[in-house]
Amino acid sequence: MQKLFISLLLLCASAVSFAQPLPNKIPIDPHRWYQLNNCSRGLDDLFDGNLYANANTGFGKMFNNFDAYYPLLDGEQMVIDSIRFFDWQSTMSDYPVTISVITSDWKRIEIAKFTGAQYNVWVGPHNEQNLFAVDSVIPNVRYIVLNAWYQYPAEMELYGSYTPPPVTPVITKQVPLKNFFGVNAFEWDFINGVTGQLDNTKVNAMKGFAGLRHYMDWEKLESVEGKYTFNPVHSGGWNYDTIYATCKANGIEVLADLKTLPNWMLNTYPDNQRDAENVPVRYGKDFSDPNSYIEQAKVAFQYAARYGNNPNVDTSLVSVDASQRWTGDQINKKRVGLNYVKYIECDNERDKWWKGRKAYQTGREYAANLSTFYDGNKNTMGPAVGVKNADSSMQVVMSGVALATPDFLKGMIDWCKEFRGYKPDGSVNFCWDVINYHFISNDTRTSQNGYPTRGVAPEVGNGDSTAYSFLLAAHQFAADMPVWITETGYDDTASPYKAIPIGDKTAALTKADWTLRTSLMYARRGIQKVFFYELTDNNPGGTGQFATCGLLYQDRTRKPSGNFVYQTLKTFGEYTYKETLNNDPIVDRYEWNGYSMYAVMIGDEKGRTGTCTIDLGDAIAATIYTPTPTGDMMATQTVNTVNGQLTITATETPVFVVPVSGNYVMRLR
């Protein structure tokens, strides 16, 4: 026993002696790493200073072997002359971790390999104690790349010369509150399925939202390869011209989400691999080759030519299927530049890890897809391929990712740097215009991953920090490109994403609070658009995830959450977030045409209240607007101020305060 104790002491002493840092340690931001895999955890553990816990990036990964990238920022420089790893547990000689650098001319050079052959010591690039120098010093480092199989060392440190990047603030564009009240819906949410005509009840219900994310199956537009239909589509008979014209007339901005495979493409797959949500290529095509996606980019051109804002599209490039399905059926006709649709999304959740490799793209593969969809891979595929070749003003929105981390996005960005290069002004030649992700706030803090048991209030989950991580990535790598969230929401019934009763509030009332506060939180953070999932329930009364996320009942009357959205949109939709004056209770100031409005709430899920005082300047009174679970209008109460000061008790239901002065009149939309 005494010998064992002495041996342990020697091991600990050895570890401590080798743990002394070398000169000129290079700082590493662990959050900047991105992994080309569906990893549920990042590489933070590799740089946390804990020598006795190996880094773990999660389980159930799509790929056994994959890369993780560390991109350098503009103005940042490093020259690595030494590297060391702390070897704690596990030997991985047959499955080593390799460390490479990618230079400014895209050469990938290996500088170290970790095998885990030692124990409880610091080792260098060749797994030898005390020998930390790399064989050759590489200048012009653009990326560090870790290639791993199943495990990492406990710690990793780099040494050499380092120049930090300039620090600049994240830029967010202020947008009207109405931008945060979009909804996901389908063509049958406008059209009567029996008559084929607009349904006034359905259209009136849609007027309660400022944006439509239209789930649009490719099969609708091209049920026969090369034959395009729109009004009516030959799969289902829906009249898209009519739907989009109705949206435009009612101020509902359309995001068309072109998704799923048409049957003629799906039939190229073996029977046991047919899933409409497969990657949009013919069976056997290379996911990393832009040419594999040309069919999808052709239908995108036709769609953008018709519904975009370019009346000068060459009509010889435009095609419709003019065949008549039956006597009296409407015939499709060529139309261009209708100016109905400004935004188009390339597919939906292209990181579908739960459906296997046939439905999963890495960020770099999806960028190859987007490059074709966007402009025919920089106009190399012919004149009638890609959205921008039909309408250069139409904005391409990246597919909303299900795994709510910027990893997928960063892979897309770096593919563009390597294969699309840079514009004359030095900016990256990106192949999308809007960043997009999905986030469902729940008690695992992982959105659509892990094993949640219920939804949580938006401020209690990590929705705000996740939003910031995307905004930061946009700032650091994508010129502050706009960031949207196109799926968020809560279930009504017993699902992993359910709202819960709080105090004397039912789950439906809690959902109303959380839904409205979701919009207000993202407006506060700097997101530019939000679309709720979804208009009506997928499975009314069901207990599965996303079964009862609807904001409306099946008869198109509004749930309490739908009423909160409707009332806020109609009353304050034009107001824009300006600043947060207090954090608990939350007091946000909005502005419209020089007039202020204050949104006041408790960001919690405990049923608590709080008191705050707002300085309303020369206001003699204030009108307090409180959303109600029924009806079209908020409840109002006018109270006097004391020397312009208003003291108000805040609850978890947001209220809106409008000052009243001698020369102030509340102005509604």
> Would 446 be classed as within a structural domain?
no
**β-sheet bridge partners, residue 255:** 213, 343
Do residues 240 and 331 share a domain?
yes
> Would 120 be classed as within a structural domain?
yes
Do residues 151 and 249 share a domain?
no
Segment (H or E) for 610: strand 610-615
What is residue 9's predicted lDDT score, i.e. its pLDDT? 40
> Would 10 be classed as within a structural domain?
yes
> Would 399 be classed as within a structural domain?
no
| Residues 220 and 262: beta-carbon distance below 8 Å | no
> Would 99 be classed as within a structural domain?
yes
What whole-number distance in Å separates Cα of residue 651 and Cα of residue 510? 12
Do residues 124 and 260 share a domain?
no
Q: pTM for this one? A: 0.94
pLDDT at residue 450 greater than cutoff 80 = no
Segment (H or E) for 11: helix 2-18
> Would 458 be classed as within a structural domain?
no
Do residues 215 and 140 share a domain?
no
Distances (CA, A) of 379 to 280, 289, 382, 528, 534: 20, 15, 6, 30, 36
What is residue 22's predicted lDDT score, i.e. its pLDDT? 78
Residue 132 DSSP one-character state: -
> Would 508 be classed as within a structural domain?
no
pLDDT at residue 667 greater than cutoff 50 = no
pLDDT digits (tens, 9 = 90+) for 336-364: 999 999 999 999 999 999 999 999 999 99
Do residues 17 and 159 share a domain?
yes
Which of 392, 425, 447 terminates a domain? The answer is 392
Do residues 279 and 379 share a domain?
yes
What is residue 128's predicted lDDT score, i.e. its pLDDT? 95
Whichever domain contains 99, its CATH number is 2.60.120.260
Mean pLDDT of the chain: 93
Do residues 218 and 365 share a domain?
yes
Q: Quick one: pLDDT band at residue 40, thresholds 50, 70, 90?
A: confident
Q: Which of 179, 128, 159, 72 is nearest to 524 (CA)?
A: 179
Share of the chain above pLDDT 90, in %: 88
Do residues 15 and 138 share a domain?
yes
What whole-number distance in Å separates Cα of residue 374 and Cα of residue 385? 8
Q: Which domain holds residue 319?
A: 192-392
Number of domains present in the structure of the chain: 3
Whichever domain contains 586, its CATH number is 2.60.40
Do residues 139 and 217 share a domain?
no
pLDDT digits (tens, 9 = 90+) for 490-513: 999 889 999 999 999 999 999 999
pLDDT digits (tens, 9 = 90+) for 190-225: 999 888 899 999 999 999 999 999 999 999 999 999
What is residue 148's predicted lDDT score, i.e. its pLDDT? 96
What is residue 11's predicted lDDT score, i.e. its pLDDT? 42
pLDDT at residue 1 greater than cutoff 70 = no
Do residues 339 and 388 share a domain?
yes
Which of 142, 163, 184 terminates a domain? The answer is 163
| Residues 411 and 363: beta-carbon distance below 8 Å | yes
Do residues 202 and 157 share a domain?
no
What is residue 4's predicted lDDT score, i.e. its pLDDT? 39
pLDDT at residue 19 greater than cutoff 90 = no
pLDDT digits (tens, 9 = 90+) for 60-88: 899 999 999 999 999 999 999 999 999 99
What whole-number distance in Å separates Cα of residue 598 and Cα of residue 566? 18
Q: Where are the beta strands (DSSP E) in 394-508?
A: 395-397, 435-438, 483-487
Place of tokens 């009638």: 384
Measure the CA angle with vertex 438, ends 37 and 74; round to 5°: 60
Beta strands 529-532 and 483-487 are parallel
pLDDT digits (tens, 9 = 90+) for 538-556: 999 888 889 999 999 999 9
Do residues 196 and 341 share a domain?
yes
pLDDT digits (tens, 9 = 90+) for 250-278: 999 999 999 999 999 999 999 999 999 99
What is residue 666's predicted lDDT score, i.e. its pLDDT? 41
**Buried b or exposed e, range 528-564, using 16+ CB within 10 angstroms:** bbbbbbbbbbeeeebeebbbbbbbbeeebebbbbbbb
Phi–psi pair at 633, nearest 5 degrees: -120, 145
| Residues 393 and 339: beta-carbon distance below 8 Å | no
Which of 367, 392, 417 terminates a domain? The answer is 392
- If one counts every other C-beta atom within 10 angstroms of the C-beta of residue 153, the result is 24
> Would 526 be classed as within a structural domain?
no
